[in-house]
Amino acid sequence: MADRTVKLSIFRGDPGGGDMVTYEVPTQEGMVVLDAVLWVQSHRAPDLAVRWNCKAAKCGSCSAEIDGFPRLMCKSPIDEYGDEISVRPMHTFPLIRDLVTDVSWNYEVNKRIQPFTPSEADLADPQPWRMQQEDVDRVIEFRKCIECFLCQDVCHVLRSHGQKDAFFGPRFMIRIASLEMHPKDAADRRPLLRGEAGVGMCNITKCCTEVCPEHIHITDNGIIPMKERMADLYFDPLRFVAGKLMRGRE
């Protein structure tokens, strides 16, 4: 292992075009793909653009497509790959340069989600809040999200169909879920889910769950319950009839 070299092919280019460029990289035990990319940067190509921060799978900055699979580079040990490894930028977001893409759309989406909103009574309560661990546990899973946007990258609604105007994507489905299921949140985001967030666009292929480095069950625990909440409000036949009757009475 210690003396092995790998052929690392990295996409080099900008919106005007680019190519895969291959670098020979010496490896050492425990090395991850990010280490190899940074070795190339400091020894072969000082202008190789790459985002990274913590190198400990906690910040979600170094997302890329390694041998075609969306992953965090810092959490991808070299020894899980063959002698040739390809690294490309995320496909779903506009390219800036080399491995860096423009993910600003995600930040814009987040601003459109109503933030945490406690009830008037809870806000006015001068005592420290009480919540039970089991209620907190429901949202803990979603709050593990490190915003690597790999789920957004792999989601075919965004990736293949480019429908960023119709669907907020898996990351923001679980963001909404984390608020909707928060024991102290009192807002109703079901109109948002049905409307511009577009929860109906997801057809549950679970690709997002598969790539999540935090192992969040995005589809099963987040998106499906959100679909159900939205359906309860808008498509429940009993509620539909009751709604008609109420309106008749007015």
Q: Which residues bind another protein (CB under 8 A)?
A: 14, 28-32, 35, 41-43, 45-61, 75, 77, 96-98, 100, 102-104, 107, 110-111, 115-116, 118, 123, 128-133, 136, 139-140, 143-144, 146-147, 179, 182, 185, 215
Rg (CA), the chain: 22
Judged by beta carbon, residue 132 or residue 203, the one nearer another protein is 132
Residues pairing with 11 in the sheet: 20
95 three-state secondary structure: strand
Judged by beta carbon, residue 28 or residue 205, the one nearer another protein is 28
Alpha-carbon gap, residue 106 to 93, rounded angstroms: 10
Provide the token pair at 54. Answer: 């913590």
Judged by beta carbon, residue 45 or residue 166, the one nearer another protein is 45
Residue from 116, 210, 105, 214 nearest 168 by CA:
105
* Least distance to another protein, CB of residue 175, Å: 8
CB atoms within 10 A of CB 225: 15
209 three-state secondary structure: helix
Judged by beta carbon, residue 107 or residue 237, the one nearer another protein is 107
* Least distance to another protein, CB of residue 78, Å: 8
* Least distance to another protein, CB of residue 47, Å: 5
* Least distance to another protein, CB of residue 3, Å: 13
